Structure formats: structure tokens, C-alpha cells
Amino acid sequence: MMVRRRDKSNTRIGYDMVYNSLDVMGTTFPKLVFDIDFPKYLNYGKAGMIIANEVIHGFDNEGRKYDKEGNWNNWWSEGTILKYENKVQCFIKQYENLDKVRCNFVFCVHFKTYITD
């Protein structure tokens, strides 16, 4: 197996599909999540929400195209891809009904991010 190296100096938190990893900068993450004035359960809930949000990018429209080793590999079955694409279209139609002008622009510009977020 080839060892790949990369610069993580500017990473806060994020999923990297090529390396199949969740990168969390230990000095930044606590500042984003924990508030001394909040109860512990809210702090832990917020941490879980942020981490889950990043992990799900491994299964979005781009992340699904990489295997567990980070290699480009369309590993989903045709049936799974069809179901996913049908759900994406349903999601888009639902949002388009909210506000035609705003949602069309937002979806065109930020489609990948909004589908997973």
C-alpha cells in the first residue's frame, strides 16, 4: 500500500474522500464546539452533529465515488445509485417549491454541499 502525505496545517475539521479520513485539528475543534456556559449534553451533541455532518460527505454525490482506500471506484450498485439519484431529485423539487428565485440560485451554486448538509 502506498503511503500518501499531505499538508494538514490549515485543517480545522473536514472529511477528505481521497484519504478516506476525518481530519480534526485538536486546537481548533474545541473552540468551535465547547462553550463553558452550556450544559455538557449540548456540547457533546454539538460535537456529534459536526462530526456526523463531515462523515456523511463520504457518501454524498462525490464521496460515494471513492472506496475505503480512497481510490476512485464506483462501488455502489446500479440500483443504489438510481435510488440515490431519485431521492436527490425529490429533495431538489421540494426546495424549489419554497422560493423559486433564491432556491434555484443557491442550488446551482452550492448543490453538493446542500445535498449532504
- Over residues 88-98, the pLDDT tens digits come to 888 777 777 76
Whether the Cβ atoms of residue 2 and residue 42 lie closer than 8 Å to each other: no
Please report the pLDDT score of residue 115 as a whole number: 63
Better-scored residue on pLDDT, 18 or 95: 18
Alpha-carbon gap, residue 14 to 54, rounded angstroms: 6
Q: What is the mean pLDDT of residues 76-99?
A: 84
Please report the pLDDT score of residue 31 as a whole number: 76
3-state SS class at 6? coil
Calculate the CA dihedral of residues 37, 41, 45, 46 and round it to 10 degrees: 10
Please report the pLDDT score of residue 4 as a whole number: 47
**Residue 40, phi-psi category: left (phi > 0), alpha (psi -120 to 50), beta (remainder):** alpha
Please report the pLDDT score of residue 2 as a whole number: 43
What proportion of the chain, given as a percentage, has pLDDT over 70? 72
